[in-house]
Amino acid sequence: MNDEEINTATFNSINKKSDNIIDKTDYEKIFKSEEYILNHSDSVLDIIIIENRLITASKDALITVYNLENFEEDYKIRNHTDQIKILTELKNNTLVSCDKSIMFTKFNNDYGYKINQIILNAHSESINKIIELSDGNLMSCGDDKLIKIWNKEGETFNISTTINVHKLNINSLLQIKRTEFVSSSSNENKIYFWDLNLRKIICILENIVCSLNSNSLYKLSKDYFIVGGLMNNYIIDIKTRKVFKKINTHSFYFFNSFLKINENIFFQGNDYGDIILWKINLDKNKNKEWNIQFIKKIHDFGINNIIKYNNYIITCSYDKTVKIFKYN
């Protein structure tokens, strides 16, 4: 296995606020107490920020919209009929939300909204991930073992391709290049590399015990992505399509829900409700090592997503809450 250093040049840049955080003690202070707790009637499966709104999706089929100025609820959207596992933002600030159907919602400046399209029964079972591809089309996957590609035609989307090769539930998707995407199925313990243009498998990585969480794939840079799994994280080399490094997490839990802070630090959530701070350090040979700086339980059950907004870090969980932590 190649132990060359991970190229972090293209990692997502952090909001300037976080430059004030200099060591793990500062990070630990963030999670001593939450600034806000938003309670829901059922598990909160995903969160996203679009413009000046915090939007949550829950198992009770509700979308809740909050004002980011005070984190107070503005309204609920009740057009779904089943649990909403995933939220995605399109390039035109449109919200895409999924149960078995796919709904497109556009928000107004006056805090109102308009539903532009609903694709009813887009999948026969729950949709676990939907992503916008570089060409503007969409790709979805679900518990029905199918991957579907939706072509954009004007302001609407229509089915283009159905891919039926998986034998078990498909949990996550990630486009790694303009012409490639990855799909993972935790039950199959495999990572699939696909050619988007040819609609065919390039290769399959075996024995990757992937998380059940739809946010378990995360792109680190143009060269690497990370897979959250059971007891391990896997760093995948995009060019060679091989495991670059397997990182033991020291716990018998699924690890998922990534948030990149800077080129050397990221947060990760697990299915026990822990927040984990990872830091990349150089060993004596100047090779990069991934080390856990601290683990802190912040939710009663698993963390489904972690996002940031200005000087807030926001998490959502199966314990029916969204927690908002502030750092200075």
Global pTM exceeds 0.75: yes
> Which residue has better confidence, 321 or 188?
321
For residues 274-286, average pLDDT: 85
DSSP calls for 271-311: TTSEEEEEEEEE-TTS-EEEEEEEEEE-SSS-EEEEEEETT
Q: How confident is the model at residue 19 (pLDDT cuts 50, 70, 90)?
A: very low
pLDDT at residue 184, as a whole number: 87
> Which residue has better confidence, 28 or 217?
217
Q: Which residue has the tokens 């909403």?
A: 84
pLDDT at residue 24, as a whole number: 66
Distance CA 265, CA 22 (A): 11
Task: State the greatest distance between any 2 C-alpha atoms of the chain, in Å, as a whole number.
Answer: 57
Q: How confident is the model at residue 306 (pLDDT cuts 50, 70, 90)?
A: very high
Distance CA 328, CA 311 (A): 7
For residues 24-40, average pLDDT: 87
Residues 6+ apart with CB under 8 A from 8: 220, 221, 263, 264, 280
Which range has the worst mean pLDDT, 1-15, 71-85, 140-154, 217-231?
1-15
Domain assignments of the chain as residue spans, ordered by start: 16-326
Classify domain 16-326 by CATH number. Answer: 2.130.10.10
Q: How confident is the model at residue 21 (pLDDT cuts 50, 70, 90)?
A: low
For residues 245-259, average pLDDT: 91
pLDDT at residue 17, as a whole number: 40
- Is residue 118's pLDDT more than 90? yes
- Is residue 8's pLDDT more than 90? no
Backbone angles phi, psi at 119, to 5 degrees: -95, 100
Q: How confident is the model at residue 325 (pLDDT cuts 50, 70, 90)?
A: very high
Please give the DSSP secondary-structure letter assigned to residue 29: H
Q: What percent of the chain has pLDDT over 90?
A: 73
In 3D, which of 156, 254, 178, 263 has the Cα closest to residue 214? 254
Distance CA 257, CA 173 (A): 14
* Mean per-residue pLDDT of the chain: 89
pLDDT at residue 38, as a whole number: 97
Which range has the worst mean pLDDT, 3-17, 38-52, 123-137, 171-185?
3-17
Which range has the worst mean pLDDT, 1-10, 34-43, 117-126?
1-10
pLDDT at residue 198, as a whole number: 83
Per residue in 39-54, pLDDT (tens digit) is: 999 999 999 999 889 9
pLDDT at residue 327, as a whole number: 83
Q: Which residue has the tokens 């949709």?
A: 127
In 3D, which of 164, 191, 187, 162 has the Cα closest to residue 176? 191
For residues 3-31, average pLDDT: 50
